[in-house]
Amino acid sequence: MCKKEVGKIIKEKNIICIMCPMGCLITVTIDDNGDILRFSGNLCKEGEKYAKAECTFAGRVLTTTILTQNSLRKLLPVKTNQPIPKEQLMDAMVFISKLKVKPPVKVGQIIVKNLMDMQVDLVATDELPM
Protein backbone atom coordinates (compact mmCIF):
# COMPACT_ATOMS: atom_id res chain seq x y z
CA MET A 1 0.00 0.00 0.00
CA CYS A 2 2.64 2.48 1.04
CA LYS A 3 5.08 3.96 -1.38
CA LYS A 4 8.80 3.55 -0.90
CA GLU A 5 10.43 6.35 0.99
CA VAL A 6 11.78 8.42 -1.82
CA GLY A 7 10.52 11.89 -1.01
CA LYS A 8 11.39 13.88 2.06
CA ILE A 9 9.10 13.50 5.04
CA ILE A 10 7.37 16.80 5.57
CA LYS A 11 4.69 16.03 8.08
CA GLU A 12 3.06 13.57 10.37
CA LYS A 13 -0.69 13.66 10.89
CA ASN A 14 -2.40 12.20 13.94
CA ILE A 15 -5.80 10.71 13.30
CA ILE A 16 -8.09 8.98 15.79
CA CYS A 17 -9.81 6.08 14.08
CA ILE A 18 -13.58 5.86 14.52
CA MET A 19 -14.13 2.49 12.85
CA CYS A 20 -14.50 0.66 16.18
CA PRO A 21 -14.54 1.46 19.92
CA MET A 22 -10.76 0.89 20.08
CA GLY A 23 -10.11 4.42 18.76
CA CYS A 24 -6.51 3.84 17.63
CA LEU A 25 -4.35 6.93 17.39
CA ILE A 26 -2.92 6.55 13.92
CA THR A 27 0.13 8.51 12.82
CA VAL A 28 0.25 9.05 9.08
CA THR A 29 3.61 10.01 7.61
CA ILE A 30 3.34 12.13 4.50
CA ASP A 31 6.15 13.15 2.14
CA ASP A 32 6.70 16.45 0.33
CA ASN A 33 4.60 15.29 -2.63
CA GLY A 34 1.67 14.77 -0.30
CA ASP A 35 2.00 11.00 -0.71
CA ILE A 36 1.38 8.75 2.26
CA LEU A 37 4.53 6.88 3.27
CA ARG A 38 3.28 4.84 6.18
CA PHE A 39 0.71 4.38 8.93
CA SER A 40 1.52 3.52 12.50
CA GLY A 41 -0.54 2.94 15.61
CA ASN A 42 -3.47 1.21 13.91
CA LEU A 43 -4.31 -2.33 14.94
CA CYS A 44 -6.02 -3.32 11.72
CA LYS A 45 -6.45 -2.61 8.01
CA GLU A 46 -9.72 -0.76 8.61
CA GLY A 47 -7.71 1.90 10.40
CA GLU A 48 -5.44 2.32 7.41
CA LYS A 49 -8.46 2.78 5.13
CA TYR A 50 -10.01 5.32 7.48
CA ALA A 51 -6.77 7.25 7.97
CA LYS A 52 -6.17 7.35 4.22
CA ALA A 53 -9.68 8.69 3.61
CA GLU A 54 -9.25 11.31 6.35
CA CYS A 55 -5.95 12.46 4.82
CA THR A 56 -7.43 12.72 1.33
CA PHE A 57 -10.72 14.33 2.27
CA ALA A 58 -11.81 15.00 5.84
CA GLY A 59 -15.47 15.62 5.13
CA ARG A 60 -18.20 16.36 7.66
CA VAL A 61 -21.91 16.81 7.21
CA LEU A 62 -22.76 20.25 8.60
CA THR A 63 -25.99 20.33 10.56
CA THR A 64 -27.31 23.65 11.85
CA THR A 65 -30.40 25.85 11.85
CA ILE A 66 -31.69 28.80 9.84
CA LEU A 67 -33.76 31.68 11.20
CA THR A 68 -37.35 31.74 10.00
CA GLN A 69 -39.78 34.51 9.11
CA ASN A 70 -43.58 34.38 9.40
CA SER A 71 -43.50 31.09 11.26
CA LEU A 72 -44.39 29.95 14.75
CA ARG A 73 -41.10 28.07 14.80
CA LYS A 74 -38.03 30.23 15.25
CA LEU A 75 -35.60 27.89 13.55
CA LEU A 76 -35.53 25.41 10.70
CA PRO A 77 -32.98 22.58 11.03
CA VAL A 78 -30.84 22.03 7.92
CA LYS A 79 -27.89 19.94 6.75
CA THR A 80 -25.49 19.75 3.86
CA ASN A 81 -26.61 16.82 1.69
CA GLN A 82 -22.96 15.73 1.32
CA PRO A 83 -19.95 16.12 3.61
CA ILE A 84 -17.98 19.35 3.24
CA PRO A 85 -14.29 19.84 4.04
CA LYS A 86 -14.03 20.25 7.80
CA GLU A 87 -11.88 23.35 7.35
CA GLN A 88 -14.90 25.04 5.71
CA LEU A 89 -17.36 24.39 8.54
CA MET A 90 -16.93 27.77 10.24
CA ASP A 91 -17.10 29.74 6.97
CA ALA A 92 -20.26 27.90 6.03
CA MET A 93 -21.75 28.78 9.43
CA VAL A 94 -21.08 32.49 8.82
CA PHE A 95 -22.76 32.25 5.41
CA ILE A 96 -25.78 30.33 6.77
CA SER A 97 -26.22 32.72 9.71
CA LYS A 98 -27.29 35.45 7.25
CA LEU A 99 -30.09 33.39 5.72
CA LYS A 100 -33.79 33.49 6.51
CA VAL A 101 -36.54 31.15 5.32
CA LYS A 102 -40.29 31.50 5.06
CA PRO A 103 -42.85 28.70 5.22
CA PRO A 104 -43.87 26.45 3.63
CA VAL A 105 -40.75 24.27 3.59
CA LYS A 106 -40.80 20.52 3.05
CA VAL A 107 -38.30 17.97 4.37
CA GLY A 108 -35.45 17.55 1.90
CA GLN A 109 -36.23 20.83 0.15
CA ILE A 110 -33.11 22.59 -1.11
CA ILE A 111 -32.57 25.86 0.75
CA VAL A 112 -29.25 26.80 -0.89
CA LYS A 113 -28.10 25.13 -4.09
CA ASN A 114 -24.33 24.61 -4.46
CA LEU A 115 -23.50 26.09 -1.08
CA MET A 116 -20.45 28.39 -1.38
CA ASP A 117 -19.45 26.56 -4.60
CA MET A 118 -18.72 23.39 -2.65
CA GLN A 119 -20.95 21.25 -4.91
CA VAL A 120 -23.24 20.42 -2.02
CA ASP A 121 -26.76 21.63 -1.30
CA LEU A 122 -28.12 22.87 1.99
CA VAL A 123 -31.39 21.02 2.61
CA ALA A 124 -34.15 21.20 5.20
CA THR A 125 -34.26 18.30 7.66
CA ASP A 126 -37.70 19.18 8.99
CA GLU A 127 -40.78 20.84 7.63
CA LEU A 128 -41.90 24.39 8.24
CA PRO A 129 -45.67 24.44 7.89
CA MET A 130 -47.63 27.60 7.06
CB 50 to another protein: min, Å: 10
Residue 93, sorted as left (phi over 0), alpha (psi -120 to 50) or beta, turns out to be alpha
Q: How far is CA 99 from its chain centroid?
A: 21
CA atoms of 104 and 7, how far apart (whole Å)? 56
Q: Which of 2, 6, 9, 107 binds another protein (CB under 8 A)?
A: 107
What pairs with residue 64 in β-bridges? 78
- Residues within window 52-91 making contact with another protein, judged by CB under 8 A: 60-65, 67, 73-75, 77, 79, 86, 89-90
Q: Please spell the DSSP secondary structure of 46-64, one letter per residue.
A: HHHHHHHHHHH--EE--EE
Using the rule CB under 8 A, is 110 a contact of another protein? no
**Between 2 and 43, whose beta carbon lies closer to another protein?**
43
CB 108 to another protein: min, Å: 8
**Between 8 and 130, whose beta carbon lies closer to another protein?**
130
